[in-house]
């Protein structure tokens, strides 16, 4: 696996683990993190041996937002470059063919919450804290939160978060549907790994197609999205994984998927 300065990219079997690794500044997102993060995501996207991706943070934060020290001196034009880079990173994360789980171990503020929102599933440690505090800095979220939060929890909750900048708990995040699950702090990685193990057992082609249908469907009309589901369901009948999965069931054995 490639090595980076601001993050760690590790492999554990079929899982790739990305750890934001600037703990002294609570993993704040500067240009280097965005550049390296985008590179890591792009390299994972073309690696068929990676079946699931996990993102987490080193130390006591998942990510405490954009690097305010770096942003402070930016001109408007530099801010555009930073925001567009962030969007490329977030879009690449969202569009990874593999399922992506955010293991939220601590602060997920501003850009940190935006990273989590670009993942497919969010599992939070009980002590994690969430928020979109950008307006106290005189800006708005610039890596996708105005749109991804609203699509997940609705416009009213999103407006409350952004207008107040208030930090809130994992329990509140769970209550509004911002995270899938909250677990005791010391069970976070174990819970995420148990989930990845389940995902790794499934037909990988099916799983990737399911992700595409769900993601793309959200941008279509219901009619178009249901048509996409039919077409994808049909396409999967021509795959080896489909033949193997059904045969294995009927022969009462575990399937041996090849991803073909
Ligand atoms: N950008 C740059 N540096 C940051 C940072 C950020 N987003 N978040 C934290 N840091 C730095 C702090 O400046 C501090 O550096 P120092 O040790 O050189 O003083 C270090 O990380 C530790 O943070 P600190 O504030 O001392 O920890 P805390 O436990 O008292 O507070 C937070 C934690 C997350 C509540 C607080 O750091 C914070 O509010 N961070 C900014 C969050 C934010 O606004 N994010 C959105 C940005 S758009």
pLDDT, tens digit (0-9, with 9 covering 90-100), for 70-99:
999 999 999 999 999 999 999 999 999 999
32 CA distance to ligand 1 middle (Å): 18
Q: Can you give the pLDDT at residue 138?
A: 98
Query: Tokens 């950008």 — which residue?
Result: 134
224 catalytic? Reply is no
240 CA distance to ligand 1 middle (Å): 50
- Determine the residue of 6, 25, 26, 146 to mutate for testing ligand 1's pocket, defined as the one with the most ligand atoms within 8 A of the Cβ atom: 26
CB within 6 Å of ligand 1 — which residues?
25-26, 28, 64-69, 107, 109-111, 133-134, 137
Integer CA distances (angstroms), 190 to 96, 134, 183, 194, 219, in order: 23, 32, 10, 6, 34
User: Which of 230, 228, 233, 239 lies closest to 205, judged by CA?
Assistant: 239
Helices (H) and strands (E) in the chain, counts: 11, 10
pLDDT band, very low/low/confident/very high, at 1 (cuts 50, 70, 90): confident
Q: How many CB atoms lie within 10 A of CB 147?
A: 11
Sheet with strand 107-109: strands edge to edge: 61-63, 107-109, 129-131, 168-169
57 CA distance to ligand 1 middle (Å): 14
What are 183's two structure tokens? Answer: 């677990």
User: Which of 143, 210, 47 lies closest to 18, judged by CA?
Assistant: 47
Task: Read off the pLDDT of each residue in 228-257 and give the average, rounded to a whole number.
Answer: 97
70 catalytic? Reply is no
What are the tens digits of pLDDT across the range 156-199? 999 999 999 999 999 999 999 999 999 999 999 999 999 999 99
Beta strands (DSSP E) in the chain are 7-12, 15-20, 52-57, 61-63, 100-104, 107-109, 121-125, 129-131, 168-169, 181-183
Query: pTM of this prediction?
Result: 0.97
197 CA distance to ligand 1 middle (Å): 34
């Amino acid at each position: 696996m490639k090595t980076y300065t601001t993050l760690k990219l590790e492999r554990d079997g079929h899982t790739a683990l990305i750890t934001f690794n600037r703990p002294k500044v609570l993993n704040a997102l500067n240009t280097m993190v965005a550049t390296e993060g985008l590179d890591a995501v792009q390299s994972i996207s073309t690696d068929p041996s990676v079946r699931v991706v996990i993102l987490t943070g080193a130390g006591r934060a998942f990510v405490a937002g954009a690097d305010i020290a770096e942003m402070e001196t930016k001109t408007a034009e530099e801010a555009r470059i930073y925001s567009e880079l962030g969007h490329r990173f977030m879009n690449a994360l969202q569009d990874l063919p593999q399922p992506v789980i955010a293991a939220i171990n601590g602060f997920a503020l501003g850009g940190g919450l935006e990273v989590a929102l670009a993942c497919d599933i969010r599992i939070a440690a009980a002590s994690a804290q969430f928020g979109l505090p950008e307006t106290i800095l005189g800006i708005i979220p610039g890596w996708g939160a105005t749109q991804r939060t609203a699509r997940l929890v609705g416009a009213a909750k999103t407006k409350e978060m952004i207008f107040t900048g208030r930090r809130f708990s994992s329990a509140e995040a769970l209550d509004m549907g911002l995270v899938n699950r909250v677990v005791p702090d010391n069970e976070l990685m174990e819970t995420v790994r148990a989930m990845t193990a389940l995902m790794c057992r499934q037909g990988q082609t099916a799983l990737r197609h399911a992700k595409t249908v769900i993601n793309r469907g959200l941008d279509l009309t219901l009619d178009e999205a249901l048509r996409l589901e039919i077409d994808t369901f049909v396409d999967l009948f021509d795959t080896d994984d489909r033949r193997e999965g059904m045969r294995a069931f009927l022969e009462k054995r575990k399937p041996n998927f090849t991803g073909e």
